[in-house]
Amino acid sequence: MTRIVAARAALIDIPVETLRTDAVQSFLKQETVVVDLDTDDGASGRGYSYTIGTGGRAVLSMLRDHLLPAVIGQDVRRPEAVWRHAFSQTRATTTGAITSLALAALDTAVWDARCRADGEPLWRAAGGANPDVPLYDTEGGWLHIDTDTLVANTVAARDDGWRGSKLKVGSPDPARDVERLTAVREAVGPGYRLMVDANQGQTLADARALARALEPAGIAWFEEPLPADDVSAHARLVASTSIPVAVGESLYSVAQFKEYLARDAATIVQPDVARVGGITPWLKIAHLAEAFNVPVCPHFLMELHLSLVAAVPNGRIVEYIPQLRAVTTADIAVVDGRATAPETPGIGISWDDDALDDLRVL
C-alpha cells in the first residue's frame, strides 16, 4: 500500500510554439494544470491537463477545493479506486469539461506515482502492447498556411519519414479546401497518408458535400466534421461516405464514446487523456473501441499519448504537435516517423522544474 500524504496543484501558462489556426479558433496559449502527489513510502507523481486558453483557473479551483483533499490517504497502487473516490466528489458537475480536466490532472499523477513506485514505465503498466509507435504531423497543416507552403510542408514531412500529415479544412470557400488537398496529394503521391480536420465547423450537408469532393484524394480520415454532441448526424455521415470519420477530442466521458460506437457514428476514436478524465477512463475507451474493432488515434498530448498508444493493441498512430518543450528537458525521439515509448518509470515526461516555476501563474 502506497498512500497519498500530500497533494498540490498549480496553473502554468505555456506559450504556443507556432501560430495554430483551424476552422473555428486559434490556439493562443496552453493553460496547463499540474498536480504533484507525495506518498508515505517516498514515491511521488506528477500529472497534468490543459486548456487552450480558457477555464484553467476553474480546473485549478476544482482540484484545490474538492479533489485533492479527498484523495489524501488513498492508495496510488489502486488508480481505479482513487479515480472512483475522486469522481464521487463531483457528481453535481459531471459529465463536464472542467470536472474531466481536473480528474485527468489528478489521475495522471496517480499513475505516475504508481509506476514510479513499481519501477515500471506507463506503456508496460497499462498493457504493453507495442512500444514502437508511428506518428503523423499536424504542425505543417494549419488553416492559415497558403497552398504552396502547405505542399512544401507535407512533402518535407513525407521525405523525413513521417507516416502521414493532417490538413485543416473549413475555409469559408470549400473550393479552397479541395484545391489545397488536391495540390498536396498530387505532390506527395498516392501512398502517403493524408487526414483532414474540420474542428466541428460543418453542417451535415456541408460535410457530405466536402467528403464527396475529397474522396478522390484518398483521405485516411475526416476528423471532427460536425458538432461533437450530434451523434445522429455523425452516424448519417458515416453511412454516406467511404472516408473514415474520426471523433473524440471534444468528448468527455466513456459513455459518450459508447454512444458513438454503438450507433456506428465513428470509425476512428480520438480520446484526449486530459479531456476524458485521465488515464483510467482513457484505457476503458481504448478497450471499448477494441471490442468494436475500431482503432484509437488520440488527440494532441503526444508526450503522454505515445505511452498509451503503445499500451493498447488497437493504438494506431500519435499526433505530433510539440507543446511541452518549454517545460521539459527532453523531447520524444523520432526516427523515420516513429517513436519508442519511454522506459523510465512513470508517465515518461522529463519535467523542467525551474521552467515550470518561471511560467507559474497560480
Helix, strand counts (H, E) of the chain:
13, 12
What is the bridge-based pairing of β-strands 268-269 and 245-247? parallel
From the centroid of its chain, how far is CA 70?
Answer: 27
> How far apart (Å, rounded) are the C-alpha atoms in residues 2 and 43?
8
Nearest to 8 by CA among 72, 58, 51, 54: 72
Residue type, 30: Q
From the centroid of its chain, how far is CA 281?
Answer: 13
Cα 255–Cα 256–Cα 259 angle in degrees, nearest 5 = 90
Sequence-separated (6 or more) residues with CB below 8 Å from residue 331: 322, 325
> How far apart (Å, rounded) are the C-alpha atoms in residues 356 and 349?
13
DSSP for residue 96: S
> How far apart (Å, rounded) are the C-alpha atoms in residues 220 and 284?
25
Whether residue 193 contacts residue 163, with contact meaning beta carbons closer than 8 Å, is answered with yes
What percent of the chain is helix, strand and coil (3-state, nearest 5)? 40, 20, 40
> How far apart (Å, rounded) are the C-alpha atoms in residues 132 and 158?
19
| Total number of residues shown for the chain | 362
Residues with catalytic function: 168, 299
CA atoms lying within 13 Å on the CB side of residue 36: 9
Burial of 22 (0-12, 13-18, 19+ CB in 10 A): buried
Whether residue 348 contacts residue 123, with contact meaning beta carbons closer than 8 Å, is answered with yes
Nearest to 52 by CA among 92, 97, 8: 97
